[in-house]
Amino acid sequence: MSDHNGTGPENVTEIVSASCPGGMARQFRVQVESGETLSRWRLAGSFGDAEAASRFAATLRAAGQHPRVIACRALPTAA
């Protein structure tokens, strides 16, 4: 997994591939680095398009947080 530090949709990191056809509409999740949780990252927002997610991440970055944008095409499930 790699972090997204750019501001445009071309810099979105895709870490989840489709697990089944017709699963979930593509969404872009914005996460911020957090020392409060064990997983290190917490969800800050979900968006339907990359531009909105990137703008939100830029706002968080300007506020001194360390965000990343992840493109999701399917819900992760346990194997």
The residues spanned by each domain of the chain are 9-72
pLDDT in tens, 10-28: 555 544 444 555 556 788 9
Instruction: Extract the tokens encoding 72.
Output: 């999701």
In this prediction, residue 79 has a pLDDT band, given cuts at 50, 70 and 90, of low
Q: Please determine, for residue 69, whether its predicted confidence score (pLDDT) is greater than 70.
A: yes
CB 31 within 8 A of CB 68: yes
**Contact residues for 21 (Cβ-Cβ < 8 A; gap 6+):** none
Q: Is 57 helix (H, G, I), strand (E, B) or coil?
A: helix
State the pairing for strand pair 67-72/13-16: parallel
Q: Is 68 helix (H, G, I), strand (E, B) or coil?
A: strand
How many residues belong to the chain?
Answer: 79
CA atoms 51, 57, 61, 63: torsion sign: positive
